[in-house]
Homo-oligomer: A and B are copies of this chain.
Amino acid sequence: MSGVFSMNPLHLVAVTGGTHGNEMSGVTLVKHWLKDSTELARETFTAVPLLANPEATEKCVRYYERDLNRCFTRDILNSTESQDEPYEVKRAREINREFGPRGSVNAYDVILDLHNTTSNMGVCLIVSEAHRHLEMHACHYIQTHLPNFDPQIFLYKEPGSELYDLASVSKAGIGFELGPQPQGVVRGDMLQKMKTLVKVTLDFINHWNQGMEFPAFEVDVYQRVGHVQFPLSPDGEVSAVVHPSLQDRDFFLLHPGDPAFLSLDDQIIPYTGEQPVYPVFINEAAYYEKNIAFILAKKMQVSVPALSSTSQKRTL
């Protein structure tokens, strides 16, 4: 277990929305829970709602000056505040002070961070790495209790890269990524799904606190391994769009030679990777500024050991 794990129980739990201010399921739910947090209460704890980026939420944009969910790096969290630094850099340190500090015994036990994507990601559960056993058990619990949602597990941290997301501040962190939903729009169906995901995960934490044992299991996960950029013309403009046959096919295998893009003069541009891969976050609006057309993942099966609040010292 990589985190400095507070053994048991899990009392300090936060549900964060508006980390990206135009991802409206989380924004809407957290604003609601800030008025009435009844839905976040369990026998053994009450989760704290947090509107993570109020400035971006107010403006209904992803971020005001810098992507908050990339600001939780070691360098930023360890540096001292200076004038003229981006709003989100200050905000990341504030959140780390209040819900972390990351890696400390005082850090929150769990953060659930609520996101939406314009991609057809369905219900995606984001964890940093496969050896985060508590998170993996939570994901498995969600998969078992909400099979109709067909939740997929995505491991965002590529080997060798560092943590940078808000949920990394706590001892355990999961991102819920629901799509497709346009930026700035609340879809009722997505809102209900997000609410149900939070409910079931809080139930899991409550069961954990009450001493439930969670047996070992094997599960398929999607490990991020890279990304593909849009083709550019010599003037730096995007010269092709995601091919219609790839659009909405998140979590479906893409083979070398399959259509990846359609140029503006109607030429098919194939995927040129050497191996079949699973594209995810296909045509996500927020990645256009980086010219990223989709993220690549490989599918892996991982074995997760049994976990119980009394056996943690042994199994973790």
Give me the interface of A with B, judged by CB distance under 8 Å.
28-29, 31-32, 36, 60, 118, 180-189, 191-192, 237-238, 241-244, 247, 262, 264-265, 283-285, 288
**A60 near B288 (CB under 8 angstroms)?**
yes
**B186 near A241 (CB under 8 angstroms)?**
yes
CB neighbours of A264 from chain B (8 A): 28-29, 32
Measured in the bound complex, the distance between the Cα atoms of B118 and A31 in whole Å is: 23
Measured in the bound complex, the distance between the Cα atoms of B272 and A182 in whole Å is: 28
Measured in the bound complex, the distance between the Cα atoms of B284 and A244 in whole Å is: 23
What is the distance, in angstroms, from A236's C-beta to the closest C-beta of chain B? 12
CB neighbours of A36 from chain B (8 A): 265
Interface pairs (15), CB distance under 8 Å? A32-B265, A60-B288, A118-B182, A180-B182, A182-B183, A184-B285, A185-B288, A186-B238, A186-B241, A187-B241, A187-B242, A187-B247, A187-B283, A188-B241, A188-B243
**B184 near A183 (CB under 8 angstroms)?**
yes
Measured in the bound complex, the distance between the Cα atoms of B285 and A60 in whole Å is: 10
What is the distance, in angstroms, from A28's C-beta to the closest C-beta of chain B? 7
Measured in the bound complex, the distance between the Cα atoms of B265 and A207 in whole Å is: 25
- In the A-B complex, the 10 residue pairs with the smallest Cβ-Cβ separation, listed nearest first, are A182-B182, A188-B244, A184-B285, A118-B182, A32-B264, A189-B244, A186-B241, A188-B241, A185-B285, A188-B262
What is the distance, in angstroms, from A40's C-beta to the closest C-beta of chain B? 13
Measured in the bound complex, the distance between the Cα atoms of B31 and A187 in whole Å is: 31
Measured in the bound complex, the distance between the Cα atoms of B193 and A262 in whole Å is: 14
Given A182-B185, A185-B288, A188-B243, 8 more A-B residue pairs with CB atoms under 8 Å apart are A28-B238, A28-B241, A32-B265, A118-B182, A186-B242, A188-B242, A188-B262, A191-B241
Measured in the bound complex, the distance between the Cα atoms of B187 and A225 in whole Å is: 24
Q: Which residue of B lies closest to A262 (CB)?
A: B188
